[in-house]
Structure formats: C-alpha cells, structure tokens
Amino acid sequence: MNTSLPQSAFFLPPPSSENNGVDFLGLRQANLDMMAALIPGTNNVTSYIRPFSLLSWIFWKFHGLCEKAGKDQPNSEEVQEFRERVEILFTWGARLEDTPGIPGKQAEPPAGGGSVLLTFKAWGRVQSSTSLIAALWYGPASKTATGLGFLEPFKGGFFRATGKGVALAEALDGVLRADAGLYSRLLDTLGPVTATEDDARALWTLWGANSPTDAERDAFRDAVFDEGRIGDYSNLLGQRSSTIALAKLHLSHCAGAHAAEDIRRGMFFSGRPDGNAYEVPAELRPALRKWIVLQVRQLQRLALESLLSWCERRIIGGLHDTAGLTSEAERLFRTHSSGLDPDDPLTLMIGKLDTQISSVNDFVARGRSDGLFSPFALMEEIQKAFKAKDERFAAISFYALLLCASFAGYFAENERTQISVGGASRLSLFHLRKRLTALGDVSLKQAIQFVLESMVLSQHFATAVNRFDGQNQRLRLSIEEGGLISLARKPWEPTVTEDRLPTILELAGDCGLVNRTGDAFQL
C-alpha cells in the first residue's frame, strides 16, 4: 500500500461511525502468542474436521484435473475459480442447514433464483474474510508452516495437498463419488459451472460439516496428536500433543462429561471436581506452567481493558481529567479493597501479596480455596459486576493488577521468558511488575493515577497512533481543550480472549481423542 505522508500538521476528520475492535490497548497479541505456544496450528474458529478435508480436496482435485487435461502450468486465476466454486457450494449448504461456524454462509445467492453463478463476486463475498482459506479461518491451520500440515506452497502462488492432506482428500472424494451425477456435473470439471439450491442441499448431505468419515478422523488424529511427542516442546506437534495430553489428564480424573470452561480451570488447578489435587507427570509440567501463566495474563488483560471501559464510562458521565478519574477510582478501591489496606503504600501492598505465596505452585494451591488468588474467580467477578453496571469492577481490576504483578515475582531470572511475552510495549507480566514496583512507596492515589495515565490512557493513545493507517482511526478517547472526551457512543465491553481450548477439544472429539456430547467432553 502506498500512502502519502502529510507535509504539515492536520486535523483528523470527526469519526463518522462507532469505533469497532477488540484490542484498544494493544495487549491481545501477547495472549495469542502464549496460546500459540500451547496449542499451535489451530485457532479459536477451527471447530470441524471437514473444512480441512475440503481444502485438501480442492487443491488435490484441481491438480488432478489439470493433469488429466494436460495443463502443465495452471495459473492462480484458474485455481481461484475452482476453489470459489467448491467453497460456495459448501457454504451454501451450510446456509441452508444453518450450520454454525462456517465462514461465508451469511452470503445470499445472486438474485433471480434457479441456477446461479458460483463466484465470490456474484455472491458478494470477500476473499480475506469469508473464504475457508482466509487467515481468519482455516487457512493458517491447514498449511505446513503455520498449521497441521495438510497444504504446502506450490509454484504459481497456490497450494497442493501434502501426504496428510491427500489422505483427507481421498477420504472425502470417496464420499462425494456416492452421487455420480452431482460429482460429474459440479465437481469433476475445470469448466464454468452453475448450480441450484437443490444441488447445494444434495451436496451437503454428502460433505456436511458434522459427518467426517472414519478415514478422515484417523488421518486428522495423526496430524493433530502424537502420543510419542508428549513432553517434546521443540516442535509444534509436541507442544500441541502435550497440551492435549494435559486436558486428557484432567478428564481422566473426572467422572462424566465436562464443558471446556470446567476443563480449563481443572487444567490450571490440577484439581478434581471434588477439589482435591492430582499429580501432574514431569513431561507435562512445562505445558502446565505455560497454561498457568496464560490464565494469569488473561486476567491482566481483562483488568486493564475493564479500566479503560470504566474511564470511558466516567468521561461520558462528565469527568474530563485524570485527577477526577483517580479520585473516583480511589474511592471505589477504598470501599472494595479485596483484603488489602488502602492506607499502605504501593510497595507494601504488593509486598503483602508476595509474602503470602512463595512459588507458582503455592499460588495455584491458594487459588483452589481462595477466590482472591484465583484468576478465574476474579475474571468472573469483574465480568459479573461489569454486566450489572456495578462500578466495583474497577476496584477488582486494580486489585487484579497487583495480584498479577505479585505473581510475576515468583519467577527466577532464568524463567522470565515465560512472563516476558509481549515485552514493554504490550505490558508483559514481567514489565507490569517492573513498572509497579519501580514506583516505590507511593500512595494508593498516586499508584492509581499512574495505572490510569500510563497503562490505560497513554497505552490506548499509543496503540491507536501506531495503528493509524491514514484512513481509519482507532481512538476511543481524545484530549481536547476541555480535557478528555469520548469518541464512542457507549463504553467498550471487553471480554476474555478466547484461548483455543474449546476448538481443540471439539476437534479432539471429532477425531476420537476424547468423547464429545454436545459442548461437553470426557474420556
């Protein structure tokens, strides 16, 4: 993209629409990086095996048709036409059956009815956001470099199926050939094709997202998990297998089926449903450690983003300077101090938390019975108060930051890599503690003012400026002559970052690594 640089100072145009987004403090990428180290190769929308099979089949079939037609050098336009046709037929079926989690199913057929064109242009679809192979969906997870290894780059700027991908493609091809007429007319050709709603519905009975074959399940299971790689953290398969094994370990200590939310907590606490702890084998302890750090980081991000939302709420309500925001936040914390003494200096507050816990294991053990040391209990309390419009969530958020800073102090110097993800620019756990402890014996008011000014407002302004592309601004707040003003009609509603656990459990259920009943899982 070529953008002309401004030659002088200029005013931004006033915002014309609500500023949408999920990362107004620039913290999200650190959380995603931590998730990628635990469950690499997938994301939080890859819920089905069948789209992996379909993408593998598209490129496997395209190359087969080219070979049959004597095309030695097909171009990217030809493969795009074929891929769009197959994707539209697939997502059209998903639309008709209202199957959730399939990109592009909101697109409506071209006007006129009957037999319609099968191109993204005709359907008003966007490659970068509604294609199965888009970065937002199954694309990265399908590829060799970033995902499960079903597709590899090929000359001409497109892909071909690897051995793993061929196994999926051949299994799906056997299913599709069950209707020879449909297969021949719609799929077994490089020529232009039109289709009807009845065609899409008939194909969905064959390749619907909820009907992987045993052969697909076996091929996918081999790609996503390897028992022999558990404890090997030097490669993606070993990292992913170790985290899946950690989830399976927890399920082995549970009776009945459990939701992903319960499994997430159970993995963190290494605790049975009755509250008793179980032993984690040595090969899974590195995965457990990373899982614990991730959940604490989730708390840190929610706390900071909730404070940004609280600032917005108060600015919309008439407070326009940080002094007023600080006074109100201090009042809330003095009313809801979570067991800390508001009259203590900041160093003593963090120090009192530090002295209660001596290690990460102690932190986890304390959290099993004490909600003030449980990331999950605190995140729930923040979200519950937020939804109830109870400003107590700001006080809980400030306490949560102090707890996260204390947690970061349990790591020896040679272990700091785990808590330094994100660095200073994304306020890693390490840098959170470093910046708060550097304040020394400041008062509660001074500490709150620092957090609001430096870690919330300035962090937001810096993030928005860094992401300004010359057209779209990401600012939710602005500093004008009269002080802080809100550029949004209502306060932002932050949520906890998805951590990929639900989708990897869904995939594990589809391929037989665990048993799945609806949204619950068991061994």
Same-domain check for residues 456 and 384? yes
Band the pLDDT of 2: cuts 50, 70, 90: low
The pLDDT value given to residue 158: 85
- Asked if residue 364 is part of any domain, the answer here is yes
Same-domain check for residues 107 and 199? yes
- Is the per-residue pLDDT at 473 higher than 90? no
- Is the per-residue pLDDT at 89 higher than 60? yes
Same-domain check for residues 313 and 186? no
DSSP count for the chain of H helices, then E strands? 22, 9
Mean pLDDT of 206-235: 96
Q: Distances from the Cα of 318 to the Cαs of 69, 206, 322, 473, 479, in angstroms? A: 71, 59, 12, 23, 14
Same-domain check for residues 429 and 322? yes
Percent of the chain with pLDDT over 90: 86
Mean pLDDT of 408-426: 94
Q: What is the pLDDT of residues 96-125, one digit of tens each?
A: 999 999 999 999 999 888 899 999 999 999
- Asked if residue 54 is part of any domain, the answer here is yes
Band the pLDDT of 22: cuts 50, 70, 90: confident
- Asked if residue 111 is part of any domain, the answer here is yes
Same-domain check for residues 37 and 125? no
Crossing angle for the helix pair 392-408 and 429-437, to the nearest 10 degrees: 100
- Asked if residue 308 is part of any domain, the answer here is yes
- Asked if residue 67 is part of any domain, the answer here is yes
| Angstrom distance (rounded) from CA 233 to CA 337 | 41
Domain boundary (211, 233, 249) is at 211
507 and 47 in contact (C-beta within 8 Å)?
yes
Crossing angle for the helix pair 501-511 and 214-224, to the nearest 10 degrees: 130
**Paired tokens of 149:** 């290894």
**Cβ neighbours for 465, distance < 8 A, ≥ 6 positions apart:** none
- Which range, of 53-57, 77-81, 288-292, 400-404, averages the lowest pLDDT? 77-81
Q: Which of 365, 362, 343 is nearest to 354 (CA)?
A: 362
Same-domain check for residues 453 and 332? yes
Mean pLDDT of 6-11: 68
62 and 82 in contact (C-beta within 8 Å)?
yes
The pLDDT value given to residue 468: 67
The pLDDT value given to residue 325: 98
| Angstrom distance (rounded) from CA 94 to CA 70 | 34
CB atoms under 10 Å from CB of 395, counted, come to 24
48-57 burial by CB neighbour count: b if 16+ within 10 A, else e? bbbbbbbbbb
Bridge partners of residue 271, in order along the sequence: 277
- Is the per-residue pLDDT at 17 higher than 50? no
Same-domain check for residues 358 and 301? yes
- Predicted structure pTM score: 0.92
| Angstrom distance (rounded) from CA 318 to CA 312 | 10
Q: Which amino acid is at 312?
A: E
Residue-range definition of the domain harbouring residue 407: 28-41+296-486
| Angstrom distance (rounded) from CA 490 to CA 496 | 19
- Asked if residue 277 is part of any domain, the answer here is no
- Is the per-residue pLDDT at 33 higher than 80? yes
Question: How does DSSP classify residue 254?
Answer: -
Please name the residue ranges forming H helices in 9-119. Answer: 28-38, 50-69, 76-97
Question: How does DSSP classify residue 284?
Answer: G
User: Residues, the chain, total?
Assistant: 523
Band the pLDDT of 10: cuts 50, 70, 90: low
Same-domain check for residues 304 and 446? yes
- Is the per-residue pLDDT at 129 higher than 80? yes
Same-domain check for residues 313 and 179? no
Domain boundary (144, 179, 211) is at 211
| Angstrom distance (rounded) from CA 473 to CA 490 | 17
CB atoms under 10 Å from CB of 292, counted, come to 22
Counting the structural domains of the chain, the total is: 2
Q: Which of 243, 269, 264, 266 is nearest to 254 (CA)?
A: 266
The pLDDT value given to residue 355: 95
Mean pLDDT of 435-456: 98
**Cβ neighbours for 278, distance < 8 A, ≥ 6 positions apart:** 249, 253, 270, 271, 272
**Cβ neighbours for 7, distance < 8 A, ≥ 6 positions apart:** none
Mean pLDDT of 18-34: 85
User: Which carries the bigger pLDDT value, residue 173 or residue 11?
Assistant: 173
- Asked if residue 239 is part of any domain, the answer here is no
| Angstrom distance (rounded) from CA 475 to CA 491 | 13
The pLDDT value given to residue 425: 95
Same-domain check for residues 35 and 110? no
Please name the residue ranges forming H helices in 212-284. Answer: 214-224, 236-252, 260-269
- Tell me the backbone φ, ψ of residue 158, rounded to 5 degrees: -130, -155
Sign of CA dihedral 110, 115, 116, 119: positive
Domain boundary (211, 240, 261) is at 211
Q: What is the pLDDT of residues 252-279, one digit of tens each?
A: 999 999 999 999 999 999 999 988 999 9
Band the pLDDT of 5: cuts 50, 70, 90: low
| Angstrom distance (rounded) from CA 273 to CA 449 | 41
E-strand stretches of 223-346: 258-259
Same-domain check for residues 129 and 152? yes
Concatenate the DSSP letters of all residues of 1-14 into one string.
---PPPSS--PPPP
| Angstrom distance (rounded) from CA 377 to CA 498 | 17
Sign of CA dihedral 48, 49, 50, 53: positive
- Asked if residue 119 is part of any domain, the answer here is yes
Question: How does DSSP classify residue 217?
Answer: H
The pLDDT value given to residue 170: 98
| Angstrom distance (rounded) from CA 209 to CA 49 | 7
Same-domain check for residues 351 and 465? yes
- Is the per-residue pLDDT at 49 higher than 50? yes
- Is the per-residue pLDDT at 141 higher than 80? yes
Q: What is the pLDDT of residues 315-351, one digit of tens each?
A: 999 999 999 999 999 999 999 999 999 999 999 999 9
- Is the per-residue pLDDT at 20 higher than 70? no
- Is the per-residue pLDDT at 471 higher than 80? no
Mean pLDDT of 238-243: 98
Residue identified by tokens 């071909």 is 160
